[in-house]
């Protein structure tokens, strides 16, 4: 009986140590994009839809991100962001999770998504500031209104090391 109890305790402690090691090696990955091309014909429209080029770009984003194992996809609550994220979410069979950039706390967001791979779809004036908050630097400037091709990638190791890059995907 003592031997069985000792063996069970050994297995339990080994399993816990392995789980802790796996957690220590976890990487959290955040991918940020701006919504695709929107209809700008009516400046008074605060919630425009995507134009044809935007619909095509959203489909391209879906292809570019085909092999990224997203676990969560976030979008602001606007037609242009939801419609940009939708093809990716549909392909990954994931719901869109809405967020507000006004109430965005990167520390809470980072903690809630620890160890996950996450896509965040935002706006030209919100994405760079969110990325800057994650990396702790004022490195990325507001995106030009005609630029819809930026992909910001942030990887955070369990030890807190932050690796980031900006790619242009046309």
Residue 20 pLDDT > 70: no
Question: Is residue 122 a contact partner of residue 137, using CB atoms and an 8 Å limit?
Answer: no
The CATH number of residue 75's host domain is 3.40.50.1240
Task: Tell whether 16 is covered by a domain.
Answer: no
Q: Which residue has tokens 């090696």? A: 25
85-101 pLDDT, tens digit per residue, is 999 999 999 999 999 99
Instruction: Provide the whole-model pTM.
Output: 0.85
Task: Tell whether 53 is covered by a domain.
Answer: yes
The mean pLDDT of 43-65, rounded to a whole number, is 97
Task: Tell whether 151 is covered by a domain.
Answer: yes
Helix H, strand E, coil C: the string for the chain is CHHHHHHHHHHHHHHHHHHHHHHHCCEEEEEEEECCCECCCCCCCCCCCECHHHHHHHHHHHHHCCCCCCCEEEECCCHHHHHHHHHHHHHHCCCEEECCHHHCCHHHHHHHCCCCEEEEEECCCCHHHHHHHHHCCCCCCCCCCCCCCEEEEEEEECCCCEEEEEEECC
Task: Tell whether 89 is covered by a domain.
Answer: yes
Domain span at 153:
27-168
115-160 pLDDT, tens digit per residue, is 999 999 999 999 999 999 999 999 999 999 999 999 999 999 999 9
- 10 Å CB burial of residue 4 (0-12, 13-18, 19+) is exposed
Q: Which residues, in sequence order, are CB contacts of 84 under 8 Å at separation 6+?
A: 33, 35, 36, 50, 54, 57, 58, 61, 75, 121
């Amino acid at each position: 009986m003592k031997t069985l109890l000792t063996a069970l305790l050994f297995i339990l402690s080994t399993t816990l140590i392995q789980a802790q090691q796996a957690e220590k090696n976890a990487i959290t990955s955040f991918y940020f994009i701006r919504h695709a091309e929107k209809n700008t014909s009516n400046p008074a429209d605060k919630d425009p839809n995507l134009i044809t080029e935007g619909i095509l770009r959203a489909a391209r984003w879906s292809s570019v991100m085909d092999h990224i194992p997203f676990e969560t996809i976030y979008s602001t609550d606007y037609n242009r962001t939801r419609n940009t994220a939708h093809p990716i979410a549909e392909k990954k069979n994931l719901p869109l999770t809405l967020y507000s950039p006004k109430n965005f706390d990167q520390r809470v967001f980072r903690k809630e998504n620890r160890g996950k791979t996450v896509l965040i779809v935002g706006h030209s004036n919100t994405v760079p500031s969110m990325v800057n908050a994650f990396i702790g630097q004022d490195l990325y400037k507001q995106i030009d209104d005609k630029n819809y091709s930026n992909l910001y990638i942030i990887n955070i190791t369990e030890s807190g090391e932050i690796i980031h890059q900006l790619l242009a995907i046309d």
